[in-house]
Amino acid sequence: MSALTEKLLNSNLKTLTPYESARRLFSGGTDWLNANESPFCNDIEVALTDYNRYPDCQPKGLINAYANYAQVQADKVLATRGADEGIELLIRTFCEYQRDSILICPPTYGMYKISAQTCGINTVEVPLNADFSLDVAAITAVENVNIVFLCSPNNPTGTLLNEEDVVQVLTHFSNKALVVLDEAYIEFSTQQNWAAMLDKFPNLVVLRTLSKAFALAGLRCGFTLANPDIIQSLLKTIAPYPVSAPVAQIAQRALSDEGITLMRQQVAYLTAEQNRVREALSGHAGVNLKGGNAANFILFQYTYRTQLMQHLVDNGMLIRDQSKQVGLADCLRMTIGSRSQNDRFLSLLDQYLNDTGDVA
């Protein structure tokens, strides 16, 4: 670091390690089962007109399409540059620099804490219980937090939060804090949908994305669903043109009846594949499945995870090490890919277990 950047860099960034995205960790590889992306690359079309004009801040067609899909009123929908931008906007809008705190429940998605750190906001951590349920008593004992981030289905555990637990948290913080339900993987689960509860809980915020089930991680399009006063507050912070014209067009097409039908077919395929891979993994002694199947990935524990990861990486197969997270010692997370990718993963695993003599 030069003397100038050293002198000028915000003090809260001096010790910050940026989010280790799957793309930052590995650039090579042939099979990317490390970022919970979809294996489907769907056809995309864009009109090539009107690019001399700025887009709408919140393109109406897109907002209406998502409102219709999520079954909420349009004034409860904010379109953002991925759900990640929604996380950051919430923190920037509702937490004060070097004074306020957010609450998170690890093991969970890494960006809540990193966004808080980049904004100079403190993070209070209340770990999930051993079965990955919420520790409601410990959460509600925490004073003075502005935002509680919950994730259901949770990344990287693939588990759903218990509905009554979430209601207790929402109720406890009703006049104290926003409770954010990150539903990035909601399409893979049939059970819960917190967007339907916005009328009941004024402090509820729901995060959604087109990056996972809709197979559009490269697009960078997400949605924040909340009551209109919260949406209006977020509009004070958001950039003037956060959704570029081609993004709005492609996203709106993905949210058409045709697009939604295609998404549901692909989710059904990935669910069947997940069942198949889980079945195969459960036959291996030494490999312990962890968490649940409510998303598009499998979390498992394996004592020699470093060696196994190396074997996979050497063969171009990238999955994600989650072992640094609290409660996830020796855990790896594998995204469900295409049938052939999943087969390749299973055969590389077999090969490793056979070679090392650690066979079922």
Ligand X SMILES: *Cc1c(COP(=O)(O)O)cnc(C)c1O
Kindly list the residues in this chain that would bind ligand X in the complex (CB under 6 A).
36, 82-84, 109, 151, 155, 182, 184, 209, 211, 217, 222
Closest approach of ligand X to the CB of residue 270, in Å: 15
Q: At what angle do helices 257-282 and 339-355 cross, to 10 degrees?
A: 20
Strand partners, 224: 78, 207
Closest approach of ligand X to the CB of residue 155, in Å: 4
Closest CB to ligand X belongs to which residue? 82
Closest approach of ligand X to the CB of residue 282, in Å: 24
Q: Which residue has the tokens 């409601």?
A: 136
Closer residue to ligand X (CB): 151 or 331: 151
The span from the CA of 170 to the CA of 154, in Å, is: 17
Q: Which residue has the tokens 């509680």?
A: 148
DSSP 8-class letter at 159: -
Closer residue to ligand X (CB): 167 or 217: 217
**What share of residues in the chain are helix, strand, coil (percent, to 5)?**
40, 15, 45
The span from the CA of 131 to the CA of 119, in Å, is: 32
Closer residue to ligand X (CB): 146 or 335: 335
The span from the CA of 330 to the CA of 325, in Å, is: 10
Closer residue to ligand X (CB): 82 or 242: 82
Pick from 65, 19, 37: nearest CA to 220:
37
Closer residue to ligand X (CB): 121 or 151: 151
Closest approach of ligand X to the CB of residue 178, in Å: 16
Closer residue to ligand X (CB): 151 or 245: 151
Closest approach of ligand X to the CB of residue 219, in Å: 9
Closest approach of ligand X to the CB of residue 184, in Å: 4
Alpha helix stretches (DSSP H) within 106-187 = 111-118, 136-140, 163-172
Structure tokens at 3: 């003397």
Closest approach of ligand X to the CB of residue 339, in Å: 23
- DSSP helix/strand/coil, 260: helix
Please, are residues 165 and 173 in contact by the beta-carbon 8 Å criterion? no
Closer residue to ligand X (CB): 109 or 201: 109
